Amino acid sequence: MLERVKSVIQQEMSGAGLPFVGFCIALNLTVGQVTAGLKIPLYLDSVGTVLVAVLVGPWSAIITGATANTLAAVFGNPVMIFFIPVVAVIAGFTALIARLGWFRTWYLVILGGILQGVLAAVASAPISAYLFSGITLGGQDFLVLYFRSMGNSILESVFYQGLSSDPADKTITYGIVFILLKNLPFRLLSRFRGVTNVRQALSEPSHDDRHPN
Amino acid sequence: MTIDTRTKGTLTLLLCVSAFTLPWTVGALLLLSTFLLPLLSSAFRPISDRSRRAFRRFSLYAAVLAGVLILLNSILLREGTALFTFLGIPLFDGGFLFGVKTATRLLLLSFSLLHFFLSTPIRIIASELQQTRIPPQIILSLLLALHFIDRLPARIERIFAAQEARGAPIRSSFFRRVKSFFTILTPLILTSISESIDRGIALELRGFHSGVRLLDAPPSTRSSVILSRAFLTLSLLLILWRIIRWVLL
């Protein structure tokens, strides 16, 4: 089993896949600089993971998210390391729906984002509740406290907090990745294994590919 | 005695497990002891001025947030009796105790991880990971990520300046700023894909995918092997004890 996983990782990370994973780990950690520069109130800390899940594969996406969370712990947010299972869920689900072709149609992308948000809330609630009693040294802690003061249990409060923010965040992340991939030229995307997750092979070139000059 | 990365890693694991398994009073004592670690051993001191500044910044942030959360828990969780009033608002002992317990656990966890990461260069962590037979692709992706983390901020700055010079509405209304998000992100991703393709070709030409060792790790001493095994065994025993207690009670 382990050898099989290693061989799949080796296949996924061949060619441009490996350096792209490195870039997407860095993107997860630095995209905040772009949103802060434009004064847009969004985190979007899983854009890189979603990009890798669609273009490279599920195992590479799990590695991207897990490494990004570990590095986030190194850079001063130690709690992130405990949310690696949530990243694995995000990566696995995204790779699955990408393989089903959901990233070719905008309304399926929105549906996928909402489902992903609910799934992320379900996956993160037990970690946040049982390991941290709902407090993870972030801004969302105040929302958890608000739900607790309404008489809910810790698990319920964390889950409601997740439900109130995750579906919107993940839908926006999916939307951004969808628009980005639609705008990228086919000749670049074709270097990745997951190009057929985004476009029908050779039948649906982008505007740039039809008019290269 | 010199403490190597493996020993530091297993001690960090033991502290993290203790945060979840031992009573909060023991956790509070361990939290205080984590602040003594850099004084007792040079292996736990921050590796650079940047790390030192990050540690100071996080300590201040964690202290303020822990204080605010204890206060809010005391106000909002109306359990037990009122301890005292703060600006005319009653503070309850149930909420106060819950806040103190949670803050202690979280701070012990945070500071033990932070001490490990801020005192260990990523290159050493990567070489230790390589010794545990993790595929070299994962280790190289970690090293490449560090390279990109170093370069991306400057690249983003350049794209910002270029797009602003072309008239992109970077300082305009909210919706126009959202639109210009793509004018920043698209060139960033485009250049990075091109760079990834070039680097991928370079790696293949050098025979990377046929299996290579990226980094050489220093050999472990006998004392460090014994210490790290002891910390690991203690961590496992604590987890086991916690599970047994959970099943029996």
Half-sphere exposure of A123 (CA within 13 A, CB side): 20
The share of chain A scoring above pLDDT 70, in percent, equals 91
Write down the residue that tokens 């390991």 correspond to.
Answer: A131
Q: A148 near B77, Cβ under 8 Å? A: yes
Stated pTM of the model: 0.81
**Highest mean pLDDT out of A115-119, A197-201, B137-141:** A115-119
Read off the amino acid at residue B238: L
Q: What is the mean pLDDT of residues B19-31?
A: 92
Nearest chain A residue to B159 by CA: give it.
A34
Question: pLDDT-based confidence at B99, cuts 50/70/90?
Answer: confident
CA angle at B109 for the pair B103 and B111, rounded to the nearest 5°: 95
Residues 136-155 of B with CB under 8 A from A: 137-138, 140-149, 152-153
Distance, in angstroms, between A57 CA and closest chain B CA?
Answer: 14
| Longest CA–CA separation in chain A, Å | 63
| Contact between chains at A183 and B185 (C-beta distance less than 8 A) | no
Helices (H), A38-153: 47-55, 58-74, 84-99, 106-126, 132, 141-149
Q: Looking at beta carbons, which residues of chain B come within 8 Å of A76?
A: 54, 57-58, 114
A69/A87 Cα distance (integer angstroms): 8
pLDDT for B184: 85
Q: B77 near B95, Cβ under 8 Å? A: yes
Residues 77-96 of B with CB under 8 A from A: 77-78
Nearest chain A residue to B133 by CA: give it.
A6
Query: What's the distance, Cα to Cα, between the start and end of chain A in Å?
Result: 49
- The whole-angstrom distance between residue A114's C-alpha and the CA centroid of its chain comes to 13
pLDDT for A137: 67
Sign (positive or negative) of CA dihedral A162, A165, A171, A175:
negative
Of B15 and A143, the one with more pLDDT: B15
Question: pLDDT-based confidence at A202, cuts 50/70/90?
Answer: very low
B243/A99 Cα distance (integer angstroms): 39
Of B126 and B44, the one with more pLDDT: B44
Nearest chain A residue to B193 by CA: give it.
A20
Write down the residue that tokens 């998210």 correspond to.
Answer: A65
Of B88 and B229, the one with more pLDDT: B229
Q: Which of A6, A23, A35 best probes binding to B when mutated, by most B CB atoms within 10 angstroms?
A: A23
pLDDT for A213: 43
**B103 in reach of chain A (CB within 8 A):** yes
A55/A129 Cα distance (integer angstroms): 33
Q: Which of A9, A75, A135, A182 best probes binding to B when mutated, by most B CB atoms within 10 angstroms?
A: A135
Minimal Cβ distance to A137: which of B62, B143, B200: B62
Q: Are strands B82-86 and B89-92 parallel, antiparallel or unpaired?
A: antiparallel
> Please, what is the average pLDDT of chain B?
84
ipTM field = 0.83
pLDDT at A55 over 50: yes
Q: Which of B17, B24, B141, B180 best probes binding to A when mutated, by most A CB atoms within 10 angstroms?
A: B141
Q: How many CB pairs under 8 A join A and B?
A: 193
Q: What is the mean pLDDT of residues B8-15?
A: 92
| Contact between chains at B156 and A34 (C-beta distance less than 8 A) | yes
| Contact between chains at B189 and A51 (C-beta distance less than 8 A) | yes
Tell me the CA distances in angstroms from A200 to A61, A195, A203, B10, B108, one per residue in order: 22, 8, 6, 49, 51
- Three-state DSSP at A192 gives coil
Q: What is the mean pLDDT of residues B131-150?
A: 84
**B118 in reach of chain A (CB within 8 A):** yes
* DSSP conformation letters of B137-152: HHHHHHHHHHHHHHHH
User: Among A40-54, A86-100, A111-125, whose mean pLDDT is lowest?
Assistant: A40-54
User: Among A131-135, B157-161, B182-186, whose mean pLDDT is lowest?
Assistant: A131-135
B178/A38 Cα distance (integer angstroms): 8
Q: Which of B182, B189, B198, B212 best probes binding to A when mutated, by most A CB atoms within 10 angstroms?
A: B189
User: Any idea how long chain A is?
Assistant: 213
Q: B115 near B9, Cβ under 8 Å? A: no
**B223 in reach of chain A (CB within 8 A):** no
